[in-house]
Structure 1
Amino acid sequence: MSKTPVVFIHGLWIHASAWQPWIDLFAEHGYDAVAPGWPGDSDTVDATREDPDRLDDVGIEQICRHYAEIIDTLDTKPIVIGHSFGGLIAQELLANGFAVAGVAIDPAPIKGVKILPFSQLRSGFPALGNPKNKHRTVALTAKQFRYAFGNAISEEESDALHAAWAIPGPGRPLFEDAAANFSRNSPATVDTHTAGRGPLLLTSGTEDHTVPESVTRAVVRLYGDNPDVVTEYREFEGRGHSLTIDSGWRTVADATLDWLAAQRLEGADDQVTAQ
């Protein structure tokens, strides 16, 4: 039986290679997983840090098209799993028919979410604090990373994650997301009532500063009650925005595997379950 493809999509300020433990775990469970970077990312963390200008002015639409083009090269439609802005991208890909299922982990808000908690504003301020950053790339200091990603883990672990995986990120997606409700054709728009789309899981860490659980709950409400599609929500108690890369990543990954196995996706191995 052919393996079900999985495409992992990273979020702002984290390099795609941080998904490697997930790729290895999913391979053990019968999936064929890859984690392509955003357009402008280099192959390694160090190389991306050394040449951040390649990410200048990269926006949501360009990122979506980039992943859609990658998916078009696959033999079958994949499962898409995204974190933060990657979670927003995953929802767009699923709604537009590029995936059989989607998992959005602490996803950046889509158009229609009207709440803006202070912690979310503060987390995005390193980019949003200067309008010129819309067209250039911004890096987080270890202290800024600690607030936005590592608030629910020790300072030592947060600093280690920052040193290992943090990369400069384009400011444009943050500005586009912040202005989504004021733009008729916002690239952060997701058709939440797409008939016949595959199942979607939205998750939140209860201590997340960058995408607080109230924001993800607001996204869930936008999907409403649609008996024709599966939309489910899961919270991870005490977890922050680093939940996919910190020492507790396996809990989130196992929960994702369990949920996917329960969906009985066409072409997926029925024996694929978390251990």
Structure 2
Amino acid sequence: MIPSRPTVAAVHPCGRNPLMTTMPVLFIHGLWLHATSWNPWIEVFTQAGYDATAPGWPGDPASVQEARDNPESMADRGIDDVVEHYAKIIADLPAKPILVGHSFGGMFAQKLLGQDLAAAAVAIDAAQIKGVLPLPLSSLRATLPVFKNPANRHRTVALTAEQFRFAFGNAIPVEESDALFAQWAIPAPGRPLFEAAAANFNPHSPAKVDTANSGRGPLLLVMGARTTPSPKRSPRPPSSSTGTAPRPPTSSNSPIGRTH
């Protein structure tokens, strides 16, 4: 679900909420999109009274063009590297934030929530975590530009406009997808994809999330009904809780007609 501009009413039904003026909200981008793609969301959440920011991944250049010109600054960054980066950012905040993550950002949001570092989290079209069933063929095709060369684990990989349309813009007009590609698309490190692909074969996978932490804050999983790269079959993460152990608060939503 490509980040598009939300409305103030969607953030808070009464507009600005005077009781939440200092609540931090951290937006976390996924692969192939720059952190500035969250700018329309930051504007709306700020208007609604939240302290909204979108820090980039470690090594992310400040602008889209800089990222395209210097992709190697982002190379070989893995899941744990990025999660630890955001954990340090959260440690400097005045309160636990609400996390909103897209794609791999959604996975990172779930990991940070499971570590009790967030008040709540929203994971939009989240990348598969350990325990989710193998991806369908359409998802594998979307990530083929990375997996076609094992050396890409330690490199960054850029998508073409056509590849971006298949992975991100398959439910919107070609012209709109191409405009989003021109505005926000950047090369991405291959390592997180290789780590996620091997998650179910690695007992110590960095893609593992503490889904049984009953004391964590609420989690909302949002999966576009027409998304391509993320697993459609398992919008709710697996839980290792057994018997009558309390389950952490989790809900899911699948907007009709929405893409990745």
| TM-score, scaled to structure 1 | 0.84
Matched, 1:193 2:236: no
Aligned to 1:24: 43
Tell me which of 177, 186, 199 is aligned to 2:196.
177
Judged with a 3 Å threshold, the aligned counterparts in structure 2 of structure 1 residues 129 and 226 are, in CA distance, closer, same or farther, namely farther
DSSP-derived class of the 2:27 partner: strand
Aligned to 1:95: 114
Q: 1:52 aligns with which of 59, 63, 71?
A: 71
In 2, Cα distance between equivalents of 1:212 and 1:239? 14
Spell out, residue by residue over 1:95-126, the C-alpha distance to the aligned partner (whole angstroms, 9 max, x if none): 00110100000000100012320111001110
Alpha-carbon deviation of 1:195? Answer: 2.3
Distance 2:84 2:42 in 1: 22
RMSD of aligned residue pairs (Cα, Å): 1.4
- The match for 1:108 is 127
CA drift at 1:227? 4.3
TM-score normalised by structure 2 residue count: 0.89
- The separation in 2 between residues aligned to 1:226 and 1:90, in whole angstroms, is 23
Q: Distance in 1 between the 2:239 and 2:153 partners?
A: 27
> In the alignment, is residue 77 of structure 1 matched against residue 96 of structure 2?
yes
User: Is 1:137 the counterpart of 2:156 in the alignment?
Assistant: yes
* C-alpha distance 114-212 of structure 1, shift in aligned 2 (>3 A): closer
Aligned to 2:58: 39
Residue 165 (structure 1) aligned with residue 157 (structure 2) = no
Q: Is the 8 A contact 1:195 1:229 kept in 2?
A: yes
Runs of 4+ in structure 1 deviating by more than 2 angstroms, as ranges, are: 221-229
Pairwise CA distance, 1:226: 6.4
CA–CA separation in structure 2 for the residues paired with 1:232 and 1:223 = 17
Deviations 1:188-234 (A, max 9, x none): 000100021000000100110111421424x3x54779645310000
Give 1:60's aligned amino acid: I
**Structure 1: gaps of 5 or more residues:** 242-275
Identical residues among aligned pairs (%) = 55
How many pairs align? 239
**Greater per-residue helix proportion:** 1
1:239 paired residue number: 258
Distance in structure 2 (CA, Å) of the matches to 1:40 and 1:196: 33
List gaps (5 residues or longer) in structure 2.
Answer: 1-18
Q: Does residue 31 of structure 2 align to residue 12 of structure 1?
A: yes
Rounded Cα–Cα distance in structure 2 between residues aligned with 1:61 and 1:47: 24
